Amino acid sequence: MSLFRTCEPEVEKIYQALLTSAKRIGPFQADAKKTSIHLVAQTAFAGVHPRKQSLLLNIRSAAPLKSKRVRKVEQVSANRFHNEVLLCSRADVDGEIESWLRSAYQLATGNKRG
């Protein structure tokens, strides 16, 4: 994917690990934009922003995520937040990330089982 051509090889591997994790949650589309990739179920539940040596992952939520891993939280509406997490290795795509993606997926689809 052309978004990764200026990145270190590990960055695309982190992205593939993220996709593998998200696929365990439910069906979605990876919608590539000019500088990012949106993970979309009925609406976007996460945004992926490749960097030279890492991925910046934006996760939608109904409340701010409480973790040292969250670098920045932006409230985008009354009950919607964007939570920014930096992923520097495949090991960073762990159970905590998958649980946050699961909650974001459920928010995007209205599906409590996703």
Angle at 59 between CA 55 and CA 64, to 5 degrees: 125
pLDDT attached to residue 10:
96
> What is the rounded CA–CA span in Å between residue 79 and residue 53?
32
- List the chain pLDDT tens, one digit each, 114 residues: 689 999 999 999 999 999 999 999 999 999 999 999 999 999 999 999 999 999 999 999 999 999 999 999 999 999 999 999 999 999 999 999 999 999 999 999 987 655
| Whole-angstrom distance, CA of residue 90 vs CA of residue 45 | 20
What is residue 114's predicted lDDT score, i.e. its pLDDT? 53
- Would you list the domain boundaries of the chain? 2-109
Judged on CB neighbours under 10 Å (0-12, 13-18, 19+), 86 is: middle
CA 94 to chain CA centroid, Å, is 12
Q: What is the DSSP code (8-state) at residue 75?
A: E
Task: Name the pTM for this structure.
Answer: 0.93
What is the CATH T-level fold of the domain 2-109, as seen in this structure? Yope Regulator; Chain: A, (3.30.1460)
